[in-house]
Structure 1
Amino acid sequence: MRHRAGIVTDEMLTIPKWRFAVIGMLEALGVVTGMYSAAMLPGPAIPILNQTFLLWQLGFSALLLGRRYSWNKIAGCLFVAAGVVTAIASGSESGQMLSGVGLLWPIMMVVSSAFQAGATIIKESVFIDAVAHLKGKLLDIFVVNSFGSAFQAFFVLLFLPVLSNLKGIPFHELPSYIKSGAGCFFNVGASSGCDGSPLLPLLYIVNNIAFNISILNLVKISSAVVSSLAVVLSVPTTIYILSLPLPFLPEGVTLSSYFLFGSVILVLGLILYNVPQHNNIKHNSDSDFM
């Protein structure tokens, strides 16, 4: 449809696909490692460990894109990560959070963040290189999203036999599990635990697609690190919303002072990241602001 409208040109579709394959593979590996480690980790530890995503992006951006960051941007990112950790860990005994959990699972969650961070940096490089390939035109985000998602789905399906064996599910029983999952999704002959289907899953899919497109557009017009800061800002916001008495989540919770303190640190980090530096190096620097 966008191709017929002239938004997506033939030149955009001729961009080499190997980087989209790498993006899809990294995202699939991120999903697989994140899913398995999340199943073994306590809930509050998962978003905390996921904040290494931003630090991975800083490193990959400097290594792969040759970007150099001023002290305020590095400090701002560290403040943001610290603020989210403080907010999410509110009321929890952080010293005992990972007690009884093997070292493998936290490491695997950190590695999954590295895979996802690498994928976003490669997406940014695709947008940068496409400007020269398209003679100054900007690459349409749906080209990157479509090819990247297609390769991601391919690699996830490729990993499916391995995943089923790791979960103790014989490969020949996968069709029955898929059938049960489809029944739960459409709420047809499903067992308990499928309340709200299919409305809630569809709402999740629509919101997830819209969120991913928004973040990808932010990568296109700014940088992967800036998009990560926007995502990080959404974490405590999401926790606050989920603390309210909502449908299917009727029991609201009271947020502690740690949450408010962490949110303040996070906002200070965003402000620090966006403080203009007159002595910044103009070339190979991340001068985009949120």
Structure 2
Amino acid sequence: MSISLLLSSPFTSPPPPPPPPPLLRRGTRRSPASLQASLPSPRRLSLAAARVDGVGSWLVETGATRRARAAAAVGVSGEAGDGEAGGGTGIAAAAAVTVVLAVMNRVLYKLALVPMRNYPFFLAQVTTFGYVIVYFSILFIRYHSGIVTKEMLALPKSRFMLIGLLEAVGVASGMAAAAMLPGPSIPVLSQSFLVWQLILSVLILGRKYRPNQILGCLLVTTGVILAVTSGANGGPFLSDVKLFWPAVLMASSACHAGASIIKEFVFIDGAKRLEGKRPDIFVVNSFGSGFQALFVFLLLPFLSNLKGIPLAELPAYINRGAACFLNIGGNLKDCHGAPLLPMLFIAMNMAFNISVLNLVKMSTALIASLTATLAVPLSIYVLSLPLPYAPGGTSLSTSFLAGAAILVLGLLLYNLPQKPADRTKTD
């Protein structure tokens, strides 16, 4: 609003006339410097105009605009939260990093199983219980450096307990179903994770999705299934399997999806409790992993039996697995590549988990899952190439390329830009 419009408003009184200039005695002259000093400086004029213009713009600003601006500053409204406040560029960069780490994580897991092929259960327990020590150590350092506050640590622990319980039950049920299902069907049925996230985010977070987003998720799921099953031509796929075990595996995916949605809820609710500042990712990682390790420990006899390891033989199995992991003892030839490959996998897996949770904090759990899903066909492609400790390679079929194309199409469809009116309606 200009100065003239504001001053001509009927609600403002006209300014008083300026005082007349002082009379000069006859024969006296004022120097140019004194005349310039008596006039207001350009800087003062510009500052005054800025003040008046700022007041005028505030007067015409609607209440909805002010509420939207305040909500954006807090970063707790809308679908993307901090991600929208920080701009789409930050989310795109975080998503790209997550894809790279996801591909490296899958490839290194395959390579880590070369020396640990007889002890995959031991490697899984190392990642479960080892992360608790690492995450809480990082949390301790960040707390003493002032990054993590006491208010963050005082967040309700019931949410973290539920996250840990869902993750542990998801691991247990997933292992039970995987023992009864053919190998190629496991990654296919696991793609129900995206569908579960879509449903649970609507039920728990009250989020609304546009038709193109729903169709995009379905295309992503279809593309992954087509890409994964492109090499599964070795006979009947699920014809000899009862419906119960596929349902159990999809239920395990629902547990993992529920845990990810609750993590997103922790960030959103924590921002309200912390006056706009979202909880540190290591608070969520540490307490969530701690409760998960607790419930996994309680389920350890059941999990070991699923892997064909009786509880009485579990200590001996752990000793042999530790010897192979560290590449010490009499089985050096069988554990060639350890401890380098297992340690690389653990470090990469930790970096990937941190990256995914950071992406959840910046955007949504569904976007983080879609990003990680993009790594599935990329990982299959990389694993088809000759790799160290895994020589040889395989050729990719046409159906794999078609599945990858459908997956990318689904991601593009989900992330179509929306009009401002539609954005207001969905948010």
Report if the CA contact (8 A) 1:84-1:236 is conserved: yes
SS at match of 1:96: coil
Tell me the equivalent position of 2:274.
Answer: 134
Which of 352, 363, 375 is 1:222 aligned to?
Answer: 363
TM superposition shift of 1:45: 1.4
- State the Cα deviation string for residues 17-71 of structure 1 (Å, max 9, x = none): 1110110111111111222222332222111111100000000000000011000
Aligned to 2:13: none
Give the C-alpha shift of residue 173 in structure 1: 2.5
Kindly state the Cα deviation for residue 175 of structure 1 after the two structures are TM-superposed: 1.2
Which secondary structure does the structure 2 equivalent of 1:280 belong to?
helix
**Would the aligned equivalents of 1:70 and 1:280 in 2 still touch at CA under 8 Å?**
no
**TM-score of the superposed pair, with normalisation by structure 1:** 0.93
1:40 aligns with 2:180: yes
Q: Which position in structure 2 is the counterpart of 1:177?
A: 317
Give, as a single letter, the amino acid of the residue that structure 2 aligns with 1:206: A
Structure 1 residues 205-248: Cα deviation after superposition (integer angstroms, max 9, x where no partner): 01110101000001001001000100110100100000000012
The equivalent of 1:282 in structure 2 is 424
1:53·1:113 contact (CA, 8 Å) conserved in 2? Answer: yes
Give the distance between the partners of 1:175 and 1:134, measured in 2 at CA.
Answer: 45
Q: CA RMSD in A?
A: 1.8
Q: Are 2:237 and 1:109 equivalent residues in the alignment?
A: no
Q: Secondary structure at the match of 1:245?
A: coil
Give the SS at the match of 1:2.
helix
Q: Deviations over 1:109-166 (max 9, x none)?
A: 1111001000000000000000011111121101100110111111100101222345
* Percent identity for Structure 1 against Structure 2: 59
- C-alpha change, 1:2 and 1:133, in structure 2 (3 Å) is same
**Secondary structure at the residue paired with 2:422?**
coil
Does the CA contact (< 8 Å) of 1:87 and 1:259 recur in 2?
Answer: yes
User: CA–CA distance in 2 between the matches of 1:61 and 1:94?
Assistant: 37
Deviations 1:225-277 (A, max 9, x none): 00010011010010000000001211100001111111111111011001123
Q: Deviations over 1:70-97 (max 9, x none)?
A: 0000000001111111111113239822
The verdict on how the C-alpha distance between 1:12 and 1:94 changes in structure 2, with shifts beyond 3 A counting, is farther
Report the equivalent of 1:54: 194
Q: TM-score, normalised by structure 2?
A: 0.64
**What is residue 254 of structure 1 aligned with on the other side?**
395
Which amino acid letter does the alignment assign opposite residue 327 of structure 2?
A: N
**Counterpart code for 2:400:** F
AA aligned opposite 2:422 = N
Counterpart AA for 1:265: I
- What are the residue-to-residue correspondences of 1:257-272 with 2, within 5 Å? 257-272=398-413
How far apart are 1:184 and its partner, in Å?
A: 1.7
Q: 1:146 aligns with which of 286, 296, 321?
A: 286
Partners in 1 of 2:278 and 2:300 — Cα distance? 36
Is 1:205 the counterpart of 2:349 in the alignment? no
Whole-Å Cα distance in 2 between the matches of residues 66 and 281 of structure 1?
Answer: 15
Unaligned runs of 5+ residues in structure 2 are 1-140
Change (3 A) 1:283 1:11: farther
Pick which of 28-37 and 50-59 moved more.
28-37
- 1:89–1:158 CA distance, 2 compared to 1 (3 A): same
- What count of residue pairs does the alignment treat as equivalent? 285
Residues 42-51 or 5-14, more deviating: 42-51
Where do 5+ consecutive residues of structure 1 fail to align? 286-290
Give the drift of 1:283: 6.3
> Within the alignment, does 1:84 sit opposite 2:224 as a pair?
yes
**Closer, same or farther: CA 169–240 of 1 in aligned 2, 3 Å:** closer
Q: Distance in 1 between matches of 2:326 and 2:255?
A: 32
> Where does residue 288 of structure 1 map in the other structure?
none
Indicate if the aligned counterparts of 1:8 and 1:140 stay in contact, CA closer than 8 A. yes
- Paired with 1:170 and 1:47, the residues of 2 have a C-alpha distance of 27
